[in-house]
Amino acid sequence: MSQQLVTFRNLVVELGGTRILDGVNGFIERGKITALIGLNGSGKTTLLKAVLREVPFRGEIEFRCPHDHREHRPEHVGYVPQKLALDPRMPLTVRELFGLTLQRRPLFFGISKNVSQRAEALLARVNAKHLIDRPVGKLSGGELQRILLSLALDPQPELLLLDEPARSCWCRTISPLSASMLIMSSA
């Protein structure tokens, strides 16, 4: 018998007066990979954003774990977006991106040795350690998604949400993870 980690019932999302999702029901099993496949514009990313509580919705989304997921950003959920709009002229390296996301002190004070080691370990999990000193603006789309995946793996998520991972070739790197996954893909 399967254990459901997340269930959603009668989910309705309206954005700008347009109903994007209407009465959607489903679940994500604990420890399993779940793929949601549909046509472009069918609401896959909107469903993902509702699970993340990034768009307003009606209906019920229930996390069946000991953590409180009523906050705007649920804990123990990793997320890799389809794309991330970054100015390619921004002088930011992958190491500095990790510094911005993993340490509390401002980046101009430098990156702590602990954060730098943590970044290298996370990048190694997705075979991207060699990218640590590369400017973010010089990364390919697939390299950037691998960087975002490594960030989504910290801390160890119970649920990993991947939006359009098949656009890149790093899908092989996620198979040994212990998180439940919801993968969005176009048909």
Q: Please report, for the chain, the start and end positions of each structural domain, with discontinuous segments joined by +.
A: 4-186
DSSP assignment of 111-161: --HHHHHHHHHHHHHTT-GGGTTSBGGG--HHHHHHHHHHHHTSS--SEEE
**pLDDT per residue over 117-173, tens digit each?**
999 999 999 999 999 999 999 999 889 999 999 999 887 888 888 888 765 544 555
Percentage of the chain modeled with pLDDT above 90: 43
Mean pLDDT of 42-70: 86
Amino acid at 58: R
Closest CA to 98 of 141, 148, 157, 139: 148
Residue 73: which pLDDT band, with cuts at 50, 70 and 90? Answer: low
Percentage of the chain modeled with pLDDT above 70: 82
Structure tokens at 61: 């989304």
Q: Which of 20-24, 103-107, 180-184 has the highest mean predicted lDDT (pLDDT)?
A: 20-24
Q: What is the DSSP letter of 93?
A: B
More confidently predicted of 73 and 64: 64
pLDDT given at position 2: 65
Instruction: Please give the helix or strand (H or E) that residue 107 lies within, else none.
Output: none
CATH superfamily of 4-186: P-loop containing nucleotide triphosphate hydrolases (3.40.50.300)
Closest CA to 26 of 72, 60, 67: 60
More confidently predicted of 165 and 177: 165
pLDDT given at position 81: 87
* Mean of the per-residue pLDDT values of the chain: 83
